């Protein structure tokens, strides 16, 4: 979690490089969620360190992320479960 008191990349004590953290929108971000890769909308802002490029997901970002990941997973749930079932049958 990013410290609310600082926008430096060392809000977790020893972890971090001391760079500046800025909100960043970008294309091509993805998360592994329930063993499925989900690509995020490019308009979602996630704070990122300008030096070490680490994502700093604060509480508000985590809430938004959870909503998006669950929503997108549910959209494709039938296909995902069907694919898993076919895979299990092959083993
Ligand atoms: Zn950093």
Is 69 part of any domain?
A: yes
Q: Give the model confidence (pLDDT) of 67-82 as tens digits.
A: 999 999 999 999 999 9
Number of domains in the chain: 1
Is 31 part of any domain?
A: yes
Higher pLDDT pick, 53 / 10: 53
| CA 50 / ligand 1 centre spacing (Å) | 7
Domain with 38 in it: 27-44+58-90
| CA 51 / ligand 1 centre spacing (Å) | 5
pTM: 0.73
Residue among 30, 25, 27 at smallest CA distance from 73: 30
Beta-strand runs (E) in 1-91: 21-25, 30-33, 36-39, 45-49
What pLDDT, on the 0 to 100 scale, is given for residue 35? 92
Find the helix or strand (DSSP H, E) in which 64 lies. helix 59-75
| CA 55 / ligand 1 centre spacing (Å) | 9
Is 8 part of any domain?
A: no
Question: How many Å apart are CA 77 and CA 69, to the nearest integer?
Answer: 12
Task: Give yes or no for residue 23 having a pLDDT over 50.
Answer: yes
Is 19 part of any domain?
A: no
């Amino acid at each position: 979690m990013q410290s609310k008191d600082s926008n430096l990349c060392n809000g977790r004590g020893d972890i971090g490089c001391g760079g500046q953290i800025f909100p960043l929108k970008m294309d091509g971000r993805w998360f592994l969620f329930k063993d499925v890769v989900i690509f995020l909308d490019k308009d979602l802002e996630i704070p990122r360190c300008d030096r070490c490029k680490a994502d700093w997901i604060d509480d508000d970002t985590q809430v938004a992320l959870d909503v998006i990941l669950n929503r997108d997973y549910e959209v494709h749930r039938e296909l995902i479960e069907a694919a898993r079932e076919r895979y299990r049958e092959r083993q």
